[in-house]
Structure 1
Amino acid sequence: MAAAQALIQAELPPEHATTLHSSIPAMRESSFSDLIEAEHARIGSGAIKEPGTGIDLSRYEALDAPERGDTDAWRSTLQQAYTSAEYLRGREANLGLLETYGKNAWLIGNSQLEDELRSLERDVEAAKLELEAIEQARRAAQSNVAGEMHGLEETWRSGVGRMIEAQAAGERLRQEILERRRQGAV
């Protein structure tokens, strides 16, 4: 393994770790916003940052221990410490990978992540189009049967109306029969 690694290293030009891969485009000229330019000028002049401006760096400072017995404060402080530790662990791993494999591998990894993101965005767009097609088909199906549903509803209403009329007529007839029996019994 060591011999193979030595042969590979011998074949590589000495500047391979510091030069970009030929498929990676040249770096664009940086253009910063006026706010960033003003901050660069402030840093360059050595001026002190005004309190309350810029990024709050207090989240990166060591946390103070809360008072004894304050369980909620301890829980909050512990949660912040876990979050900070996880961020630093990930940052350390990424910097280690960058140091081990060089910036080209990092840039290629970013490119692969961008390709994956584009693929996922295409999938989301396809799912949206499919959802719109299904929605249009549903609306078309509903509009196609709207007349039939309206006709069925009218038939149902008229049937219910006739049933109520028949029940009312039956009740009147029953009342007449009862009335005649009473008159005949007397």
Structure 2
Amino acid sequence: MALTYHSVPEVLVDALPYFDIGYEDTGVRESALALVEEETRRYKPTKNYLEQLGQPNYHSFETEVMKNEFERLSNRLPMDMLSMKRYELPVPPAGKQTDVTAWNECVENSYAQLEHQTTRILNLELMWDYGANTWKIYNSALQTMLEQAQKQLLELRKRVQEINFQRKHEQTQAGHKLNSLEQTWVGLVSKNYEIECAIAELEKDNQNLRKRKEGKRI
């Protein structure tokens, strides 16, 4: 099991996990971790790999309200209390009890409050009449979305399983082919060794014959 590095970022993984054996042998995990540790120690990144993406703008989505709230939180200031002034019906102050304009403003404020309460009552009546059906439609839409998401999940799981089966099949075939090629290589090496041994014997016999021939001449 080895990693062969070509031009970055291409990486050729020379391994057949579905076919290879010996991953659980003693010392294999330690050796792999040692290789990773060594490469990590030698690797010193000096390049910004996200440079082509530009500088991120983390504040582009912030509104003025959000900016003010973030500023309040950073300064550890308390949150403003909910103003109930719009729901109050104040009378004119003591100095304007006889001022008709002040009383008209109070009356107009009461009219606005009354209209607001009337609108709330109307919304409640609409909710009573149509709210249940609206929620049923909403729940039905959620159920449809859930079924679609579940269907997509099943399809993805099926695809992942098919890819794993395909990888296993391809790796098994490659493993058998590698074993066959290895056996052929071993056979050829053995034959070459036998031929070399036979040649050595023939050379030895040839030398002996030459020595005998030279001895007879003498």
TM-score of the superposition, structure 2-length normalised?
A: 0.29
Instruction: Select the structure of larger CA radius of gyration.
Output: 2
TM-score of the superposition, structure 1-length normalised?
A: 0.33
Larger helix share, 1 or 2: 1
